Amino acid sequence: MTKPAPHEITTTTGIKEENTDSPVVAVKDDFKVKERVDIDGLPIYEPLPGERHFSWRAVGLGCCIGTLLSAMNVYVGNKIGWTFGGSLIAAILGYAIMKAFEDKENPFGALETNIAQTSGSAAGSMASAAGLVSSIPALNMLGVNLAWWEMVLWALCVSYLGVFFAVPLREQLIVKERLRFPTGTAAAETIKAMFASGEEAMRKAKVLSLWALGSGAISFGFYFFPALEHPALKVGIFATWHAWGFSLLLTPVMWGAGLLSGFRVCLSMLIGSIIAWVFAGPYAQNAGWVTGEIMAYKDGARGWVLWPGVAIMVGAAMTDLAFLTPTILRALNGIFALGKSAQQGDEDPYTIPTPYWVSGLIVATIGTTTIASTAFSIPPYMTVFAVALSSILAMIAVRSQGETDINPVGGMGKVTQLVFGAVRPEAMATDIALSTNLMCAGITGAGASQAGDMMQDLKTGYLLRARPIDQFRAQLVGIFAGVLSCVPVYLLFQAAYKDSGGVGGDELPSPAAHAWKAMAELLSKGLDALPAHAETGVLAGAILGVVLTLLTKLAPKDLKRFTPSAMSIGIAFIIPAYYSIAMFGGACALVVWQKVDKATASALTFAVASGIIAGDGLMGIVKAIMQLSGVPSFG
């Protein structure tokens, strides 16, 4: 099966690379596209005479869709540890809405759809790029709470850095080397196919909307009857199983995530939850290494199991980076190629003027340095160093994404954490060292994430012969709209669930943030940050992460889908077992659907799963408002 890209799972823990078994078929099969991009990745579309490239109606539509996706991703990302890209959702919904309200005298075209998709994906990615599922909640767990305006300024500065990192790479990676960027290619094919077969696009949009309404209605009902969402059989042996997290969770978003993530990822999470909560946690408790409540981070089994889980993910991320050595070398060589290209001139007539991105990079760097100094007490020279390091790491991440569709955001962030753990001055206070480690890694994560998103969109535009300067403008507006939506939603969740620990607590466990926090504490405090006897678990976890990743990389192609996902197993150590069980249930439902009606499952899985996730995610915002307003529930 062709490696699919349309659902775009991304995460600061690096799980995107593990999604090679997704059941979602490639867009070319979905829309029955006959024309293909040739092996060199040349354009598949030529604009019609007089076709509009840029319009504010397209930007506005994309931003509206993207702000909803961004708000949804704050909820989903802090629930399960990864977020969902918005390129294809923005393209499909944008097309459907455009056609439904089309001005016959001024019809929408493929290029305007591309602009809506660009601004929509930019806005939708802000939950991840702004650090609202990683560095920011990790900082909150350490007792540092930012003002809303500090979060907005930080999110804007670091996200814009990624865009400016990406722009000078376009000519080398897309125009000259013609890297594939599979997700960007899939988006271009989707847009072209929708204008050739509009009925299929409208069908998908309708299915997505209906499932979103149904998911939202179920989620709304669960607010009033929470016992139905998470039934508890606290009798006899069932009480023991429930205490260790083995129970049924019917939250729609988990089942939707299982549909998209695929059987291998979800089975790996189930295996990880068994290792963590059947063997490792009970062993630590029975040995007397932990004495508190099972799910307590401070002195319970959950706080002990966290460490081998983080070690698994770090071991996997570092091993992945080792396999990226050729890509890293090509990226470093690309620095010289960029300089040479600048001297010879751009071969592509569509270009983004150099003063645009250079001036933007300077302003974003100054802004990042200023907010880092005032909000986190990070010395300016360390922020400037972090920006410089992040520009190189973003180049590596973008090249990796272009060649494999894998953006190793988690690995890039871990590199920065390791670097700043090694170079911090001894005189630096521990709390400042923790903030420095987290937020400088946050710069790298945002840079890699947003640069990758920008390059995927630029690849889509290149294949459609769109003007990159128009996409550049759409990205800038989309980022602004996304930040203005996701920051208030994050603060809403933090306030609504403060009694259960806020973001990172029981309601929103934020597994990525716990991994970032644990890494920062270990690098800043040393082995003193570890619970009793956790060194053994960390060593075993690191070895497991390395071995499983080596098996995945070195196994014959036919056997790769049978090797467990190290990242998925690691995440299962951090979240309660019922999350993994629910996602596995979603994956099993998909397997049954494929057996019963393979054609329909192939055509509509993406739309159904996206609708389920969007409906529950957006209803999560409504429920948080109800929680703050004191609306009572029955349970």
Q: What is the pLDDT of residues 111-143, one digit of tens each?
A: 999 999 999 999 998 998 888 998 899 999 988
Confidence band, pLDDT 50/70/90 cuts, at residue 64: very high
Round to whole Å and give the CA distance between 406 and 545.
18
Tell me how far apart the alpha carbons of residues 342 and 334 are, in angstroms, rounded to a whole number.
12
630: left (phi over 0), alpha (psi -120 to 50) or beta: left
b/e per residue, 349-366, with b = 16+ CB within 10 A?
ebbbeeebbeebbeebbe
Pairwise CA distance, residues 185 & 163, whole Å: 19
How many angstroms from the chain centroid is the CA of residue 147? 24
Residue 417 structure tokens: 């954490």
Position 193 scores a pLDDT of 80
Residue 110 makes CB contacts below 8 A (sequence gap 6+) with: 45, 47, 51, 191, 192, 195, 464
Rounded CA separation 113/53 (Å): 9
pLDDT tens digits for range 443-461:
988 888 888 888 889 999 8
DSSP 3-state of 447: helix
pLDDT of residue 286: 93
Provide the 3-class DSSP secondary structure of residue 77. Answer: helix
- Residue 173: how many other CB atoms lie within 10 Å: 27
Q: How far is CA 255 from CA 12, 193, 228, 611, in A?
A: 21, 29, 15, 11
Q: Residue 261 is encoded by which pair of tokens?
A: 């993530």
Whether residue 557 is predicted with pLDDT greater than 80 in this model: the reply is no
Q: pLDDT grade, residue 398 (50/70/90)?
A: confident
CA distance 67 to 64: 5
> How many helices and strands in the chain, by DSSP H and E?
27, 2
Separation of first and last alpha carbons in the chain: 46
- For residue 35, pLDDT beyond 70: no
Q: How many CB atoms lie within 10 A of CB 320?
A: 23
Tens digits of residue pLDDT in 168-191:
888 888 888 788 888 888 888 888
Question: Residue 24: is its pLDDT beyond 70?
Answer: no
Least confident of 125-129, 232-236, 437-441: 232-236
Residue 7 has pLDDT above 60, yes or no: no
Is pLDDT of 98 > 90? no
Q: Which of 427, 412, 295, 338 is nearest to 12 (CA)?
A: 412
Check pLDDT > 60 for residue 40.
no
pLDDT-wise least confident of 39-48, 111-120, 241-250, 438-447: 39-48
Instruction: Look at the alpha carbons of 463, 465, 466, 471 in this order and tell me if their dihedral is positive or negative.
Output: positive
3-class state of residue 9 by DSSP: strand
Indicate the pLDDT class of residue 340, thresholds 50, 70 and 90.
Answer: low
Percent helix, strand, coil in the chain, to 5, is: 75, 0, 25
Q: Residue 311 pLDDT > 80, yes or no? A: yes
User: Is residue 26 over pLDDT 80?
Assistant: no
Confidence tier at 287 by pLDDT (50, 70, 90)? very high
Residue corresponding to tokens 């929103």 = 508
Q: What is the DSSP letter of 429?
A: -
**What does pTM read for this prediction?**
0.82
179: nearest Cα among 371, 360, 387, 407: 407
Average pLDDT over residues 583-593: 94
* pLDDT range class, residue 421, cuts 50, 70, 90: confident
Q: How far is CA 101 from the centre of its chain?
A: 32
Q: How confident is the model at residue 395 (pLDDT cuts 50, 70, 90)?
A: confident
**Which residue would you say has higher pLDDT here, 420 or 363?**
363
Angle CA(198)–CA(49)–CA(353) in degrees, nearest 5? 100
Lowest mean pLDDT among 29-43, 381-395, 533-547, 587-601: 29-43
| Percentage of the chain lying above the pLDDT 70 cut | 88
Q: Is the pLDDT of residue 74 over 50?
A: yes
Asked whether 126 and 450 are in contact (CB, 8 A), the reply is: no
Q: Specify whether the CB–CB gap between 558 and 464 falls below 8 A.
A: no
Q: What is the pLDDT of residue 37?
A: 42
Summarize the confidence of residues 581-588 as an average pLDDT: 94
Instruction: Report CA Rg, the chain.
Output: 23
Asked whether the beta carbons of 464 and 192 are under 8 A apart, the reply is: yes
Could you tell me the pLDDT band of residue 4, with boundaries at 50, 70 and 90?
very low
Per-residue pLDDT band at 332 (split at 50, 70, 90) = low
